[in-house]
Structure formats: C-alpha cells, structure tokens
Structure 1
Amino acid sequence: MAHDIQNDIDTMQGIAAIPAILEMVCRTTGMGFAAVARVTEERWVACQVLDNIGFGLPAGGELDVETTLCHEVRQLREVIAIDNVAEDPVYCQHHTPRLYGLQSYISVPVILPDGRFFGTLCAIDAKPAKLSDPQTVTMFKLFTDLIGFQFDAAEKLSSTRASLIDAKTASELREQFIAVLGHDLRNPVASITGGISILSREPQSEKSTRVLSMMRGSVLRMSALIDNVMDFARGRLGGGIALQRDQETSLQPTLEQVVSEILSGHPERRIEANFQLSGVVPVDHQRIAQMLSNLLGNAVTHGSPGHPIRVDAAIVDGELRLSVANSGTPIPKESLQKLFQPFKRGEGSSSLQGLGLGLYIASQIAEAHGGQLDVHSDETETRFTFRMPVEPQHGQAAG
C-alpha cells in the first residue's frame, strides 16, 4: 500500500502543468499557500506545493490526516470553502483552523476518470478570502478535472510501458491507448479553455496575465498533441489523413492565424513571417495550419530563444513553398534520417516535448497533398520546407 501511494505521489510530481495551476490559484484568490495532496484514510502527503507565506510544508511533506479538512473532503467527496473562519457558523470552532491559524480555506476533491478519489487541490491563508462564490469553485473544479485527466494519462502510459512484452504487443497497446487518450482529453481541454476565457475577462495583475498566457500556450500544445495522436491512430488503424481542399479561399489568412496563435502562447518569442500568396492554392486549410503549427512548435522548442523564427510562404517555380527556419544547435546527421518517423524526438528531448509525433504528422500531411517535407540543418539554421506542385492561377506570379 505504501509503495502504491509513493508511486501516485511520484506520478503527480511529474505533471508539469501543476505549478502553473497553483500559481493561478494563489493569484486569483489572494491565497498564500496552495497544494495538490494525496489523501488516504491514513495519510496526507503534499505532491506539489506553492508556499508564499512560509507555511513550511514542502513537496513530499506530510500532515496528520486527522488534523486536516481534506480528510472530510475525502469522506464526503464535496468541496469545502471557508471565506472567513471567524464568521463561519460551521467551522468557527473547528480544530483544523485553530491548529494551523487559518482564516480562509478551500479544498476540492481530485477524482480520477475511473471514479477513484486521489486527493485534493487545496489553498489556505491566515487572512479572509472570497472563496465560496460559484466562479471560484468552478475554477477549482476545472483545475481538478485537468489534474485528474493528466494523472490518469500518465498512469496509463506507465502501466502500458511496464506491460510491454515484444514490439508487436507494444505497437498494438500504444495505438489503442493513444486513440482512447486523444478522444478522452478533448473534454477537459475544452473546460480549461473556457476557464481561461472566464478568467481573462477579470482584472489581472501583470503576473497573472503572464500566467494566463502560459496556460494558453499549454492548451495550444495539448490541443496539437491530441490532433497528432488522433491522426496517428487513424493512419495506423486504416483511416489515413483525409483532405478537404479549399478551391475558393486564400491560404494566407490561415497561415497568419497560426502564427498569431503560437505567439499568444509564447509572447517572449519573435516570429518573422513573410507570406506572398495573393491567389488561391487548392489545399486543406485546416491540415496546412496543423502542419505549420507543428513546425512552429518544433522551432519554439529547439530554436535559440535569442533569435527570431522565420516563416515564408510563396508560389515559386510552380510550387507552393512553405518553410520554417530557426537558429540553434544543428540536428545531428544521424538523426536526420529518422526525424520524420513516429515517436522519434530530437537529441536532448524531455518529457515536456510531446510524444514525437509532430514532425511525423507534418510529413504525412505533406504527402497527402502530393508534396513533400524536407529539412536542412547546419550551424546557420535549421529549415523545414514543404513543397507542393500547383497549377498556375490568375493573380499568382512565379518567383
């Protein structure tokens, strides 16, 4: 049992989105301490912590579960929110606020998708705070939904890896897993997007504005990852990448929108775009946007932060040419041949950089359009270029 709890704690500590969630909780509520805790009948253990008031409990620290209100949350599976302990008829004489010197408190259960109770997302402070209003409670529930789904995904992935026996079994389990994962993650992503939209309409400090921007970037990456894994699953299970070519609308506004979305999630980066597409190019706009988003995401991850990312699109010598270039460490020659294979990532990739499907899906979109995606990498730049033959149309000049 103790080993299982430690595994749960380790898994929760590996979820990269939680620090941003705890920061957003403290900024929007004014609370000084927030944590995600594993709560059982016998134990209360902090998995990740943000402590701005010197409460003194680090990640991995424990409290006597009987002294916490999270113990009651576990039993009832209901939110406890206290604006002002001194004025609260239920909790003014409760032992927990007296023991820890609290005047405001909120704890929301983290329920996993299969119905298991994991623990709580909680926040405390020595001064009163407005916590029981529906907007604040809804925000906490959106965050606990996201935490629960991310924990479940990490747990399933760990279980899948542990049970792999041979390459064929690994492939079958992985494809089944990503198909289910891609589908099930859309709902919490939509919920978080809605929560960000609600919070964006409220007055923001400079720091909370940056946190919201970081969260938008995380949602963009999560949405792109879901699209990629679903496309991979469809391709491996026989569906392939289907196209809906647009014969009437200019592609340029679509490309500009992708650049704008990437910048909204990474305002610290600079993207120099040069689009010269005055006419109509018969492509699937959504798929080309997905390909550009994947290429830009790759450039943000691997490119030098001090240099701009360059994006160009034009009709040249009867071809649509769309390229993304960034400065930074060149890709090793031995890695270039495997770059467009699924589940392959660049040197030094971390768990924060996805499953290694972005470039693979981009290459599949290029092939579906009858084109190709190439890469050139040296000390000067790394440039990905999509080329697709196009029929000459009125209003388009060859370069």
Structure 2
Amino acid sequence: MISIALEHDHDDFLKYSLSGYISTDASGKIRSANPKMLEWIGCGIEQIIGKPVSSILSIGSRMFYETHLSPLLKLNGAFEEVSVELLVGNGNRLQVLMNAYLRNDEHGKANFIRLNFYRATERKVYEDNLRHSIVDKESTLQQERELAILREQFVAVLGHDLRNPLGAIKSGAALLKRSAQSDRDKAILATIDRSTFRMEELIANVMDFARVRLGDGISLGMKPVMIEPVLQHIVDELTITFPSREVRTEFIIKDFIFCDPDRISQMVSNLLANAITHGATTDPINVVAWLENDQFKFEVRNGGSQITESVLSTLFEPFTREATTPSQQGLGLGLYIASQIAIAHKGTLTASSDSNETVFNFCMPASL
C-alpha cells in the first residue's frame, strides 16, 4: 500500500517527475532544478546555480525570453505553453513547452519564479511534417532568403530613421547650451546628453548584432593609425557625458597601429560604458594602453562587486550581462559587440574579476 505521506510528498513528485522543473530568484537566476531537468541539459546542479534561466536556452529562444517572455512575466505574473529550445548535454536542442509563474510575498514584492518544461518532440515532428507537406523545400529556402533580406533591410532602415531624430535632439540640446541656463536647465541638458549617448550606442550595437547574426560579420576598414588620440577622444567624450566619474589614463604608444580606428573606438567606448554602468561609483576607472612585442594591448580596470565565475563564462554572449545584473541601461549587447570587434582584428578580449576589481584585457597584432 502506498503511504499517504509519500503520495503527497512534493519533493518525491519533483524527483520522479517526467517533466523538468526550475526555481529561480526574482531576477531569474537559477536556485534549484529537479533531476529530469538536469538529465535533459546534461549537467549537475552546481553548474547552473546562479546562472540566468535563459542561459540553458538556444540563442533564438534566449532572445525571445529576454525581450518578450521576461517582461511578460513581470507584467502578467505568468505565461503558458510557450515553445522554446533547450540546450541539451549532447550539443543538440530539445523542443519543449515552457510554463512560468512569478510568486510575490505578502507585500506584493517579487519573491521567486517557478518554471516547468514539457517535452514537445512529437508535437514538433507533427508540425514539421505538416509544414513540409504544404511547402516544398525549395519554396521554404526561398522564403528564408527573402526573410533574411527583409530583416537586414529593416535593421538598416530602423538605424537610419532613428539616427535622424536623434541628431535633431543633439543639435537642439547643443543650441540650448549656448543660452543662459538655470541649474535645473543644466541638469536637464546633462540628462539629454547621457540619454542620446546611450541611444547612439544602442543603435550601433543592434545594427552590428544583426549583421553578425545574418552572417556578414563585423566589417573593418584597416589602416595605419596613431591610436593614442583616438583613445583619448573616447575617454574625453565619456567623461564629458558622465562628469561625476573619474577616468585615469596611461597611454604609451608611439608607433602606428594597423586597425580600424572607428571599430576600436566603438570597442573602447563599450568597455568604458560597461565600467561606468557596472563599476563602483566611488572608485576611479583606470585605462591603460601600450605596445609589447608587436602586440597592441588595452586594459580597463574598475572597482565594484566581484563577478562570479558562472557569470564570467557567459559575459561576452548577447543579453547575458543585463540578465544577471540588470542596469536598465540597454540590451546587454555592448560586451558581445566588443568581443566581435576583437575577433575581427584577430585579437582577444578577456575578463577577470576579484573582490577588488574587474579587468578587461584586449590584445591584437599591432601590424600586418
């Protein structure tokens, strides 16, 4: 006879369930998972504790979760039967249906999130067979090509159309600065400066992200450059935009560097913006650049809380930084774009962190 206590044992139910269950904190960081979920993704619980739940999803599902499902969960408190793909242990993907709900405490503050996953393999096979019976392979490939072109055109038009009104806002703010201003006016114009800077960065990052995902990659215009003035300009620009932050520099580069100066500027700007956003506001940011054995090396150091190893391992993936340490400043694409710029220059971009500081290191060949 089955024990009544065992029949109503919640832990026993989760342990032997044929579905996957995950519990996270209010920000979406994984706190627990049942055996079936660990079996599907092929790792131990210690490997996913503290990681965002989106980290176990494929890139497409991760983007959908971060840009749609996570906001929907905060707004409605739940969603049901959403089709996503899990990254499973053998390197493949598992089609699942995901449900989630947000639990609040007695004061209405978000407490934790529970998610459950159901295999949808047979359903996916049925849908694929149905689709293939209606549209032949040649037609499907043509549609995918047309869709890729449409996406690329959409991103290009979006970037162009956003930059025009943004330019008008910047020009208007610049004109207002020339007239007499009260302290309140100065504060408003400073806010406009910071906001337009962030908007320009977001537009550039989104367009580059689209190019990389569509297969074009980061484009470069390589040429010999005296890099010190380029670096100093970026530092000056950011310190004007964020006057409360102290940035210390040490540049020791007296020779030409063969690179794309605009892309190096973009990478440095993203790294500095990351330090300003996530670093301790009371500590200075240290920026150092030098030449060593025909290698151009660049380093950004900032104080603040230590970044855990689990977060460091996914730091240069899109959307992950904003998922783990939300700043409400962007999409979490800055470090991803910076890493792609490093790769395009045949260089490396790495990060390390301890209780004292976080350091980003860039290294690339200085010449052909």
TM-score, normalising length from structure 1?
0.54
Task: Report SS of the residue matched to 1:380.
Answer: coil
Aligned to 2:266: 290
What amino acid maps onto 2:184 in structure 1? K
Distance in structure 2 (CA, Å) of the matches to 1:254 and 1:262:
13
- The 1:180–1:338 alpha-carbon spacing in structure 2 relative to 1, beyond 3 Å, is farther
SS at 1:322 equivalent: strand
Give the AA of the match of 2:178. R
| Aligned counterpart, 1:55 | none
Partner residue of 1:379?
Answer: 355
2:263 aligned with 1:326: no
Residues in 1 aligned to 2:69 and 2:361: alpha-carbon distance in whole angstroms: 38
Q: Structure 1 CA distance, aligned partners of 2:354 and 2:259?
A: 30
Range with greater deviation from structure 2 (206-215 or 258-267):
206-215
Matched, 1:355 2:334: no
Note the C-alpha offset of 1:391: 3.9
Equivalent position of 2:254 in the other structure: 278
- What letter matches 1:364 in structure 2? Q
CA distance in 2, matches of 1:379, 1:227: 32
CA-CA distance at 1:347 after TM superposition: 6.4
Give CA deviations for 1:313-336 in whole Å, capped at 9, x if unaligned: 110232111111100001111011
Residues 306 and 193 of structure 1, relative CA distance in 2, 3 Å threshold: same
Tell me if the contact between 2:218 and 2:340 (Cα under 8 Å) persists in the aligned partners: yes
**1:367 aligned residue:** 343
Preserved CA contact (<8 Å) 1:213 1:264: no
State how 1:221-236 maps to structure 2 within 5 Å.
221-236=198-213
**Secondary structure of 2:318 counterpart:** coil
Larger strand share, 1 or 2: 2
Deviation at 1:346, TM superposition (A): 5.1
Q: TM-score normalised to the size of structure 2?
A: 0.58
Q: CA deviation at 1:237?
A: 1.2
Counterpart residue number, 2:177: 200
Distance 2:70 2:276 in 1: 30
Deviations 1:254-291 (A, max 9, x none): 11110011111100000001111111101100000000
RMSD value, Cα: 2.8
Indicate if the aligned counterparts of 1:327 and 1:381 stay in contact, CA closer than 8 A.
yes
Question: CA contact under 8 A between 2:322 and 2:331: conserved in structure 1?
Answer: no
Deviation at 1:339, TM superposition (A): 0.5
CA contact (8 A) 1:340 1:359 kept: yes
Counterparts in 2 of 1:329 and 1:350: CA distance versus 1, 3 Å: same
- Alignment-derived partner of residue 240 in structure 1: 217
C-alpha contact 1:338 1:344 (8 A) present in aligned 2: yes
Tell me what 1:302 maps to.
278
Give, in angstroms, the shift of residue 182 of structure 1: 3.4
Is the Cα contact below 8 Å between 1:330 and 1:382 reproduced in 2? yes
- Is 1:215 the counterpart of 2:183? The answer is no
What's 1:317 paired with? 293
* Structure 2 unpaired stretches of 5+: 1-66, 73-78, 86-92, 94-146
Q: For residues 179 and 166 of structure 1, what CA distance do their matches in structure 2 show?
A: 28
Measure how far apart 1:217 and its partner are. Answer: 1.4
1:184 and 2:161 correspond: yes
Other structure's SS at 1:328 match: coil
Native 8 Å contact 1:295 1:362 kept in 2: yes
CA 328–313 in structure 1, closer or farther in 2 if over 3 Å, else same = same
1:238 Cα shift?
Answer: 2.1
Dislocated runs of 4+, deviation >4 Å: 157-165, 175-181
How far apart are 1:201 and its partner, in Å?
A: 1.2
**Post-superposition shift, 1:191?**
1.4
Select the structure with the greater relative contact order (CA < 8 A; seq sep ≥ 6): 2
SS of 2:328's equivalent?
A: helix
